[in-house]
Homo-oligomer: A and B are copies of this chain.
């Protein structure tokens, strides 16, 4: 099976209501008087990081990719469970994990450590506490809403390519936890942009049953000469959200478009309809 086929098969299994139909970034679990936000993201050598990557950076990104999902729900981190496959430079992995957990105020809750042959796979489960309810989803964008992005895209791409000024954007990205918490009570939809702006905007449009009409010139990008790459590359971890047009903006963000009723395509970039998700972004297998 490929990924869409496997996820479709998972959707046919008994799902917890908190799973949101496996159509969101996190599970949202009401428990006692609290609401927990729970996510699990994996990284595999060769797919998500190179065999010669600094394992400290890999650990940091494993934490960020999970906490960014919590940020998109306005959740504050409670802790993480690590699923670790032993291998090269485990001391560097520990160092980067320590730095990330300290930077984001997130303690370790537990996990599992194994030995295995071949390419390494790492997993992290992040548990957060919702700071407001209802917890935002991808699926609430309304016609007339404005579309916003918390910061420029394409920085991770430039960092990956070796531009020193953007090195941290690729190697040490920061989840937008504070922004997510500030925005959550007001947004109609929110998600993080981990797989590229166009692809993630397409997903928000699909989940919401609307069209996101983006204005190219309004999208903040790290290199305007390469806007087409910047809006397709992933790993930037900015937040994409929609807000009623009259609402005050509770965090710094750039207005990049407008939500309309479903047009000829889920996504419009200027006048160009975009229908094929395969052309939109950077997809891990």
- A-side residues, CB < 8 A to B, are 1-3, 5-7, 9-10, 13-16, 18-19, 22, 26-27, 29, 31-34, 36, 38-48, 78-79, 81-86, 90-91, 94, 97-98, 101-102, 106-121, 123, 125, 127, 129, 284-285
Report the nearest B residue to A41, measured CB to CB. B112
Q: Are A117 and B119 in contact (CB under 8 A)?
A: yes
**Chain B residues in 8 Å Cβ range of A111:** 10, 40
What is the CA–CA distance of A118 and B85 in the complex, to the nearest angstrom? 13
With A9-B94, A102-B14, A116-B46 already in contact, the answer to whether A129 and B31 are too (CB < 8 A) is yes
Q: Are B114 and A16 in contact (CB under 8 A)?
A: no
With A38-B127, A78-B16 already in contact, the answer to whether A86 and B27 are too (CB < 8 A) is no
What is the CA–CA distance of A94 and B34 in the complex, to the nearest angstrom? 32
What is the CA–CA distance of A22 and B2 in the complex, to the nearest angstrom? 36
**Chain B residues in 8 Å Cβ range of A125:** 38, 40, 81, 125
With A9-B91, A32-B32 already in contact, the answer to whether A118 and B119 are too (CB < 8 A) is yes
**Chain B residues in 8 Å Cβ range of A85:** 42, 44, 121
Q: Are B1 and A91 in contact (CB under 8 A)?
A: yes
Q: Are A6 and B42 in contact (CB under 8 A)?
A: no
**Chain B residues in 8 Å Cβ range of A39:** 81, 110
Q: Which of A18, A40, A115, A129 has the most CB of B within 10 A?
A: A40
**Chain B residues in 8 Å Cβ range of A102:** 14
**Chain B residues in 8 Å Cβ range of A108:** 10, 13-16, 19, 22
Query: Quick one: which of B45, B47, B98, B113 contacts A115, CB cutoff 8 A?
Result: B47
Q: Are B86 and A83 in contact (CB under 8 A)?
A: no
What is the CA–CA distance of A263 and B23 in the complex, to the nearest angstrom? 56
Q: Are B33 and A3 in contact (CB under 8 A)?
A: no
**Chain B residues in 8 Å Cβ range of A109:** 15-16, 18-19, 27, 29, 38
What is the CA–CA distance of A41 and B90 in the complex, to the nearest angstrom? 19
With A94-B10, A113-B6, A121-B116 already in contact, the answer to whether A107 and B15 are too (CB < 8 A) is yes
Q: Which of A16, A90, A101 has the most CB of B within 10 A?
A: A16
- A127–chain B nearest beta-carbon distance, Å: 7
Q: Are B83 and A40 in contact (CB under 8 A)?
A: yes
